[in-house]
Amino acid sequence: MNNDNELVRMDHINKFFGRVQALNDVTFTVQKNEIVGLLGDNGAGKSTLIKILSGALTADSGDIYMHGKKADIRNTTDAISYGIETIYQDSALVPQLSIARNLFLGREPVKEPAFLNRMDQGKMNEVARNLLKQVGITKEIPPTTPISALSGGERQAVAIARALYFESDLIILDEPTNNLGVEETQGVLRFVRNARDAGHSCIFIAHNIHHVFRVVDRIVVLRRGKKVADNIDPKKTTIEAVENIITGMGDAVPADASH
């Protein structure tokens, strides 16, 4: 089953919250250079699945493979070391620290001589300034600005810039366009579309199915914790057909059809 092109394999994942089974035997894969849209209604298990991959939650059973090798992801630091970066609307940024500091959180460059362990503030600011331009922040925002002074979309851009700079293999975006303005939303969509060319893979979760259709290579659908579709090509189907799969209307049988 494994192939050389496979970046991630989440294999037979189960997760319970008390008596609620959030994930029921879900197998989910992402290829190298692939943008996967993960769809499903509220409570379908999307966030739970990607939180297991990003180390925020652990599965009750099932395995994760990265590049075909078993991966031991127990926390977000482990996930980052496997090249997995996750971006949420209220991403893992520290509001009171500057843009530059947030970009390097835990990976700050050190000034020579290294044993003094002084952060290289100048280098961080310079890298930050360039990255902000790359992710489409055209407004002149000094890299020393605290995150708390930014809009939702600008915060998103900082999180995206961090994933770009550290060349993460896999970038997970969970509802990244929620509460964003039109222009900011376009920026996120543009980023996802470009991610493939830049050598990244992405998992993109969004309630706006139009956004998903515009940027992904393949759509996977979860319904009440189970995977119900794995290989939908957005170029070969309609939004309505996928909506029917999400809600379960697509496989509804007439009451007397079973007789």
Positions in the binding site for ligand ATP (CB under 6 A):
17, 20, 22, 40, 42-48
Residue 140 token pair: 């002149």
Q: How far is the CB of 47 from Mg ion (least distance, A)?
A: 3
Neighbouring C-beta atoms of residue 98, cutoff 10 Å: 20
Query: Which of Mg ion, ligand ATP, none interacts with 125 (beta carbon under 5 to 8 A by kind)?
Result: none
Tell me if residue 51 falls in helix, strand or coil: helix
Of 44 and 188, the one with the shorter C-beta distance to ligand ATP is 44
CA dist 199 and 189 (Å) reads 16
Of 7 and 222, the one with the shorter C-beta distance to ligand ATP is 222
* Span 18-47, contacts to Mg ion by CB under 5 A: 47
Query: Which of ligand ATP, Mg ion, none interacts with 20 (beta carbon under 5 to 8 A by kind)?
Result: ligand ATP
Of 141 and 209, the one with the shorter C-beta distance to Mg ion is 209
> How many residues contact Mg ion, by CB under 5 A?
1
Residues 6 or more apart whose Cβ sits within 8 Å of residue 143: 98, 99, 100, 124, 125, 128, 129, 132
Binding of residue 86 to Mg ion (CB under 5 A):
no
* Span 45-64, contacts to Mg ion by CB under 5 A: 47
What is the arrangement of strands in the sheet containing 61-66, beginning at the earlier edge strand? 20-31, 6-17, 61-66, 69-71
Q: How far is the CB of 86 from ligand ATP (least distance, A)?
A: 13
In order of 57, 144, 163, 166, 230, the CA distances from 103 in angstroms are: 24, 11, 9, 9, 34
Residue 48 token pair: 């739970």
Q: How far is the CB of 57 from ligand ATP (least distance, A)?
A: 8
Q: Report whether 56 contacts 76 (CB < 8 A).
A: yes
Q: How far is the CB of 142 from Mg ion (least distance, A)?
A: 34
Query: Which of ligand ATP, Mg ion, none interacts with 43 (beta carbon under 5 to 8 A by kind)?
Result: ligand ATP
User: What residues form DSSP beta bridges with 17?
Assistant: 20
Of 20 and 94, the one with the shorter C-beta distance to ligand ATP is 20
The residues binding Mg ion (CB under 5 A) are: 47
